[in-house]
């Protein structure tokens, strides 16, 4: 299923993260001390 087309490779990671955040599924990674 295509969700979004025409995303430049240099922006693909940020676009994917934003898409996940928009759907309320993003979980920040744990902070390592």
Please name the residue that has the structure tokens 């922006």. 11
Question: Average pLDDT in the 4-26 region?
Answer: 95
pLDDT of residue 33: 83
End-to-end distance of the chain based on CA atoms, in angstroms?
39
What's the rounded Cα separation, in Å, for the pair 32 and 13? 22
pLDDT of residue 1: 87
What's the rounded Cα separation, in Å, for the pair 33 and 20? 26
pLDDT of residue 11: 96
Question: Average pLDDT in the 4-15 region?
Answer: 94
Opening angle at CA 5, ends 12 and 15, nearest 5: 25
pLDDT of residue 25: 96
Write the DSSP symbol of residue 30: P
Give pTM, 2 decimals.
0.68
């Amino acid at each position: 299923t295509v969700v979004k087309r025409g995303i430049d490779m240099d922006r693909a990671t940020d676009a994917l993260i934003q898409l996940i955040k928009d759907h309320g599924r993003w979980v920040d990674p744990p902070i390592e001390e």
